[in-house]
Amino acid sequence: MFSKSMPGEILLLFTLAIWFLFFMIYMGNRKNKLNQWCFFSGMCFSIGVFKEYLYHFFFPFLMENWPGLLNQETALTLYSILTAIPYYFAMPISLILGYYYCHVDQKHPRFFPWLCALTFLPALILGIRYPFTQTRYYQLNDSFYYGLISFYNLLSGCVLTFFMVRTLIKERFQSYFRQKLLIAVLVLTPLWFTLMTVLPVQLLRLENLTKLWQLNFVIVFLIIGFYFYHAFRGGILGNRLKHEAYDWDSESRAINKNIQFIRHTVKNELIKIEWCTSHLNETLENEEKQYTNMILSSCSYLREYLNKISKYSEEIQPEPEEYLLMDLIASPAKNIRHLFSKIQIRFDFPKDVKVFCDKIQTEEVLSNLFFNAAEAMEFSGVIQVSCAQNSHKNELSITIRDQGYGFSPEQKDLLFSPYYTTKTMDNHMGLGLYYCKNVMTKHGGRITASSNPKTGTAFTLVFPSGDNSGKKKLHGK
């Protein structure tokens, strides 16, 4: 058999690669019929490779080491059954995938179950006329059988291709067209390469081309690369992957662990202090209560302080969607204007600029930067917000610039370190910019800072532009 020229390890790796690809497709959306039937189709085709590994490598290994478990006749019968599965059922399963691709289930719901049953009818007839257990015999000795199988599979492939191409043409202006196109490439490329390198070659006895099917190994890995490329770019078949940088160093882990321990300990002690002070307050005269009220006020401040520390140090998990930049800035800007009447915020960007980000986390970052800018200007001056699109790098930069005193080159290296602050007021923890850096890192972006004594300080948030295919939800007007 020609497959003997391919090592058993390669055949097994080939099979596992196919299983991995179609398992990822299935996990993309287990409830979606397209994902389900794409998975069934891929697994059915994979049996064609898996049976070669079993028959030429695994079965001989069993017969050599445990002769009582398996003999040559049983091995040939199992090989025949496994050959029949992709021969008879791979294309009907692929056709049902095509039906869902074309929305036949939605357009003709009453007729659809009958259409699916009729699709499997030729496979059942072939199984009765040419029994599964004798497929190998017919494959080698009956040219009419091989011609019939070739015609059946190639015709089904043509019908499936017609359905998919026709649907792509009709839906080329729909927002989900890109996804439909990716599915067609993912399905039709390996399908047609398999059909054209196996059936016609064997039917026409092209001995010099019998190893051509092994190039499917390359095709499968190219398809896996294609799948992951689009999964990271904008999503495919329900899977959208993201490279997420995280702080694995001991410093960050120690910070989180220490904060949790300190917060728990101090919180327990605060409960005792507040309870005792409240009861003591009931026995004191009004003039003396000022001291217990000071204790209660300090406890309240410490509780708020602990909550903020916990918020800024906890694990950040963004849920990014597409928002208008003006909508993201509106709430933080309004709060700063409300707190500091002498602060002005000027916007220098088009109203339709969109940012792909987590709304809550990004608003918190902007609030931190606005407050820092206001404080640097002693709560009087102009904060300017501008943005720039870098189409080459597929990035959006948002710059917040103030007219404050800035920072020194030595301070710049420590700006984003935890617990570092240039402020002297008691309400600064030194975690604000550390939090901003973590949020931007989790978004796959970054934050940079620059300072000039004449022009003030500028913080720049750099966001990946995201996918604009229309799949993401747009918030705002």
3-state DSSP of 101-123: HCCHHHHCCCCHHHHHHHHHHHH
Residues 93 and 159 in one domain: yes
> What's the CA gap between 185 and 223, in Å, rounded?
9
Residues 216 and 268 in one domain: no
Reduced to 3 states (helix: H, G, I; strand: E, B; else coil), residue 379 is coil
Pairing of strands 446-452, 456-464: antiparallel
Nearest in space to 191 (alpha carbons), one of 143, 157, 217, 152: 157
Q: Which residues, 6 or more positions from 405, have their beta carbon under 8 angstroms from its beta carbon? A: 376, 453, 456
Look at residue 163 in the predicted model and tell me its pLDDT.
Answer: 92
Is 239 among the domain residues? no
Kindly report, residue by residue over 204-220, the tens digit of the pLDDT: 666 666 666 667 778 88
Residues 139 and 16 in one domain: yes
- Is the model more confident about 259 or about 373? 373
Residues 265 and 307 in one domain: yes
Contact by Cβ (8 Å): 109, 53: no
176 pLDDT above the threshold of 80:
no
Last residue of a domain, one of 284, 315, 346: 315
Residue linked to tokens 């931007």: 440
3 pLDDT above the threshold of 50:
no
Residues 271 and 382 in one domain: no
Residue linked to tokens 């049996």: 47
Reduced to 3 states (helix: H, G, I; strand: E, B; else coil), residue 324 is strand
Residues 40 and 57 in one domain: yes
Look at residue 290 in the predicted model and tell me its pLDDT.
Answer: 77
Residues 307 and 350 in one domain: no
Last residue of a domain, one of 233, 264, 299: 233
C-alpha 87, offset from chain centre: 35
Nearest in space to 349 (alpha carbons), one of 229, 225, 461, 226: 461
Residues 221 and 276 in one domain: no
Look at residue 98 in the predicted model and tell me its pLDDT.
Answer: 93
474 pLDDT band (50/70/90 cuts)? very low
94 pLDDT above the threshold of 80:
yes
Q: Which residues, 6 or more positions from 335, have their beta carbon under 8 angstroms from its beta carbon? A: 367, 370
Is 96 among the domain residues? yes
Is 88 among the domain residues? yes
Reduced to 3 states (helix: H, G, I; strand: E, B; else coil), residue 336 is helix
**What DSSP string describes 302-338?**
HHHHHHHHHHHHSPP----EEEEHHHHHHHHHHHHHH
Query: Domain of 289?
Result: 245-315
Is 291 among the domain residues? yes
Residues 258 and 147 in one domain: no
Is 416 among the domain residues? yes
Nearest in space to 112 (alpha carbons), one of 48, 33, 185, 198: 33
264 pLDDT above the threshold of 70:
no
Kindly report, residue by residue over 104-113, the tens digit of the pLDDT: 988 898 999 9
C-alpha 210, offset from chain centre: 39
Is 99 among the domain residues? yes
Mean pLDDT (whole number) for 133-159: 88
Is 347 among the domain residues? yes
Task: Of 85-94, 217-226, 229-238, 316-325, give the lowest mean pLDDT range.
Answer: 229-238
Last residue of a domain, one of 192, 209, 233: 233
Q: How many domains does the chain fold into?
A: 3
Residues 385 and 299 in one domain: no
Reduced to 3 states (helix: H, G, I; strand: E, B; else coil), residue 357 is strand
Look at residue 52 in the predicted model and tell me its pLDDT.
Answer: 85
Reduced to 3 states (helix: H, G, I; strand: E, B; else coil), residue 430 is coil
Alpha-carbon distances of 437 from 77, 263, 351, 385, 440, rounded to whole Å = 63, 23, 26, 18, 5
Alpha-carbon distances of 248 from 244, 253, 316, rounded to whole Å = 12, 7, 14
What 8-state DSSP symbol labels residue 3? G
Kindly report, residue by residue over 273-303, the tens digit of the pLDDT: 877 888 787 777 777 777 778 787 778 767 7
Residues 322 and 310 in one domain: no
251 pLDDT above the threshold of 60:
no
Average pLDDT of every residue of the chain: 82
Look at residue 348 in the predicted model and tell me its pLDDT.
Answer: 92
Is 421 among the domain residues? yes
Residues 388 and 321 in one domain: yes
